[in-house]
Structure 1
């Protein structure tokens, strides 16, 4: 069994993790303890955390005395699902093709199905079927529909933070288990499009949601052995790696399509990968669509569109993957009523893209600029563009090179009539400082979701004067490092937000696109990645020119910004957190 890379700093409370990785400090304490569960925990450790982790070891690797006692007490009961191997050796076993994911000795001995000795099989054997051992923040089932109703008109949440208790009951906090909650509908099939997918962890959530046997299509960007072989052992799961045109491009989108047994469906767009760490102590954003009912059979082909054109844009985006398995989903979307959606779909797809007479600019920052130019209320040029992401790309030798010439040039647009002389608004970038990360719930390991490196940072020293600290005390997330990505313009003086974007797209040319600099040809926006986000424009969400900021206004709820305002600029001795700090 491999040693956990976090060592003594391991904060995990997931039995899957402890079935895959050993922990020398825990092993030493566990060996010295007695079968009654009494342990001598050194003072340098958090006793609450260590006790929880030791309880997991007791379940996964019970000592001989404890096993005998348990067997005597539960005579005739079913054997536990957890592997009962001795500590320090890997558990192995067979995985059943039973759609519930359970395995029995009869099935193991008589089935002709291929023997699964993968980590995935071990993960599923290790599940004690106790949701609180598997998922750190558990919300009572059946309440998500009402929570979503109360989140109107924005339907935007942040993920619950394990080590920030106030977020567990915050009205605008959400867990993955809640997104799958049966109160939102009985899921009959689903699509998960994401960059990183821990399929065992994801299927654990599907198990507890009661949908493990339902068809699941996974499109992923980051390959893993478990994804490559999952269809062999879980025939209801189809996993497809998204082919990218260049080695430096990323399938970075984070989106769910959920189909319900009553014919309706739902779209969920988030910033979180599908693995444990991203739903633990990291600030993530999630937008959840209303329920989208099936249209009548005789409905016109153009029926069921939202005022924002979300349905058409989503279908055009999915077509870009050129994946046959998405065709039934595109057909389902076409036959669904999206008229209740009040946000714009904002996508990026790889390739070179030119403005067309029909759609204008279709993707990336140029698409955002076109929507702002058409629909955003006039904005004073002194109002800055505030960007926030979990990574920063190579932006050029100065702020003009791409930030101003390309990116801010799109994001500064509004519906002010052409002809008026405009100024370039200020650019502000929220990115965690070294101090932010070192003081996070997970200490320096909290920076594991911030892959900005020294090589890139050294080439753009000009960036520091634009950097702002990560602070989110109002949302109880100052110590939960942000993997969320957001872009906005707001006015503190009149307490208003002009527009807001929640997206998978980091601040980079690969995500948003870069215009060619050849003036002899029609401008072409080159994009490397797949990305998806949503644009909130007040005229479509609340019918007003701006969203309230801070407090409700005339019955309209304040827009739920993920961070505190006013912003806190970097001090002279502050520095951005760099991934290199974790490697040295």
Structure 2
């Protein structure tokens, strides 16, 4: 590939860069600039040569908006000087792509039930590898111990890369963590091309990789079969049309057969790791158990190992057998978080596999709140519950139906009041407003990670009385939208947490569980994965999130958004797709 940029002008028509033709040709769905630098796309080049008026044929194998994005990427790479006017069609309606003339434009595109706003601004030549703060990942893991809670860096906000707990995906592959033998990625959306380039940046692209994924991207299987001999894969097809394979888990096995688990909120593609706020828990290394040990040996104080094995076994897949063996033979005794997962099926109290039941069970056993000793002293009800998510499902016609009758029953549980019925505890929902998104780094495109349905919102306007803005000024993250999902209970002075849950589960019945039935059962539609931080397992009374002279804990607990919360104004509306 030439070192100097290629320019296309009138006199250069007919000249093309000499690169290997993309094997997918017109079926190519890639939007990674580096793919277009490596492979020729003759049909796109020919479209650019059409000059002032380019028409994308209706019978092309990919949606027309895919070609629109690809033309923008190619135009940026080729440094096209001649302005091009492209017309395309969405939902049988002609749309003018005027942004190539300098006018902003956006189009609404629906993909597999998820609507994304594509802002037609000039595509950026995106770097594959973003650098985080100096030092090895092992250094950062030690400095963030015992919580091991990390956030993604946001390139548009350079200050985030200076944070000691802000990391990139390639940090998870840092050789300081161990010499990688193989890895497993369980996720919803995976851009295998982008993912392998992250491994390649660490010279690990030929190491065995197993993936389970829930979103079947066009030609992904063909791409893996042709170009990824080291990759084993399985597409998790959901039986329930309203279910989603939404878990986001990494399992890393090192040459000494030690294991490390990463549980996050991020899909495996560029935007999720660079445009949006995400959360990750990175486990300490779990050494291989001595010969003769059983799978019950090396258990965490929270039962993490047993529950993680049960989660893997819910898939009933041969492709996971070796990974189950790696976990069985590892020592998880240093893991201090409790595992919370959802898997499709009906579950009953005191069981994992259902967020509603599992969270309620953990909090009923381990959540300590101050007793109300006098009329003026703080008691359990003075500690507010905060639910922060990137999407919201249908909750019913009134708060009592699911939000307060089921979700709050779980989140408000504590030792003194297990499974409270009709709890008067306060619950606040943190979810970006339209203004939050519009002021994001990418304008309306910033809302691409927030697939809350307008039709659903219109049916539950009552929910807006619970809603609060996305504000994270203290962490320089306000203009990056949150794909992180977190649930916690905070003290009245906003300095302490009684618990903290990081999870892939949004505010929906599919993720947390349907209304609890008379027999105590609750049905789950989706796969979800999270970790619960409980102070007892960290030898603390509460987690501290603000520094003060009275601080007891060595380490402040990482907290992303600002307190006190900023309520919606009467004129505010939640961002909807």
Scaled by the length of structure 2, the TM-score of the pair is 0.77
Checking the alignment, whether the CA contact within 8 Å between 2:311 and 2:353 is kept in structure 1 is no
Match of 2:448 in 1: 448
Match of 1:218 in 2: 211
Match of 1:369 in 2: 360
Match of 1:70 in 2: none
Checking the alignment, whether the CA contact within 8 Å between 1:548 and 1:556 is kept in structure 2 is no
Give the direction of change, closer, same or farther, for the CA distance of 1:531–1:418 in structure 2 (3 Å limit). closer
Match of 1:409 in 2: 409
Deviation of 1:245 (Å): 1.8
Q: Which of 334, 342, 346 in structure 2 is aligned with 1:348? A: 342
Q: Which of 251, 258, 263 in structure 1 is aligned with 2:257? A: 263
Q: What CA deviation, in whole Å up to 9, does each residue of 1:519-560 have, x standing for no partner?
A: 3xx22110000000000001112x122111211623421211
Give the direction of change, closer, same or farther, for the CA distance of 1:459–1:201 in structure 2 (3 Å limit). same
Question: What SS does structure 2 have at the residue aligned with 1:444?
Answer: helix
Q: What CA deviation, in whole Å up to 9, does each residue of 1:153-186 have, x standing for no partner?
A: 1111110001000011211101001011111111
Counterpart-to-counterpart distance in 1, 2:383 and 2:44? 51
Checking the alignment, whether the CA contact within 8 Å between 1:430 and 1:469 is kept in structure 2 is yes
Give the direction of change, closer, same or farther, for the CA distance of 1:406–1:418 in structure 2 (3 Å limit). closer
The alignment yields a C-alpha RMSD, in angstroms, of 3.1
Question: What SS does structure 2 have at the residue aligned with 1:217?
Answer: strand
Checking the alignment, whether the CA contact within 8 Å between 1:361 and 1:370 is kept in structure 2 is no
Matches within 5 A, 1:42-441: 57=77, 134-135=127-128, 137-139=130-132, 143-229=136-222, 230-355=224-349, 360=351, 362-378=353-369, 380-416=380-416, 423-441=423-441
Counterpart-to-counterpart distance in 1, 2:397 and 2:417? 33
Q: Which of 530, 543, 547 in structure 1 is aligned with 2:543? A: 547
Checking the alignment, whether the CA contact within 8 Å between 1:13 and 1:136 is kept in structure 2 is no
Give the direction of change, closer, same or farther, for the CA distance of 1:140–1:512 in structure 2 (3 Å limit). closer
Q: What CA deviation, in whole Å up to 9, does each residue of 1:321-352 have, x standing for no partner?
A: 11111111111111100011110010000011
Counterpart-to-counterpart distance in 2, 1:418 and 1:300? 34
Question: Unpaired segments of 5 or more residues in structure 1?
Answer: 6-11, 32-51, 64-86, 89-131, 580-584
Deviation of 1:53 (Å): 7.9
Give the direction of change, closer, same or farther, for the CA distance of 1:135–1:415 in structure 2 (3 Å limit). same
Question: What SS does structure 2 have at the residue aligned with 1:302?
Answer: coil
Deviation of 1:277 (Å): 1.0
Checking the alignment, whether the CA contact within 8 Å between 1:349 and 1:531 is kept in structure 2 is yes
Counterpart-to-counterpart distance in 2, 1:568 and 1:345? 31
Deviation of 1:54 (Å): 9.4
Counterpart-to-counterpart distance in 1, 2:479 and 2:44? 25
Count of residues in correspondence between the two structures: 476
Counterpart-to-counterpart distance in 2, 1:576 and 1:422? 26
Deviation of 1:221 (Å): 0.2
Counterpart-to-counterpart distance in 1, 2:165 and 2:440? 21
Question: What SS does structure 2 have at the residue aligned with 1:498?
Answer: strand
Checking the alignment, whether the CA contact within 8 Å between 1:4 and 1:23 is kept in structure 2 is no
Counterpart-to-counterpart distance in 1, 2:282 and 2:177? 11
Question: What SS does structure 2 have at the residue aligned with 1:440?
Answer: coil
Counterpart-to-counterpart distance in 2, 1:189 and 1:338? 19
Counterpart-to-counterpart distance in 1, 2:26 and 2:273? 23
Scaled by the length of structure 1, the TM-score of the pair is 0.76
Question: What SS does structure 1 have at the residue aligned with 2:382?
Answer: coil
Matches within 5 A, 1:512-527: 512-517=512-517, 519=518, 522-527=519-524
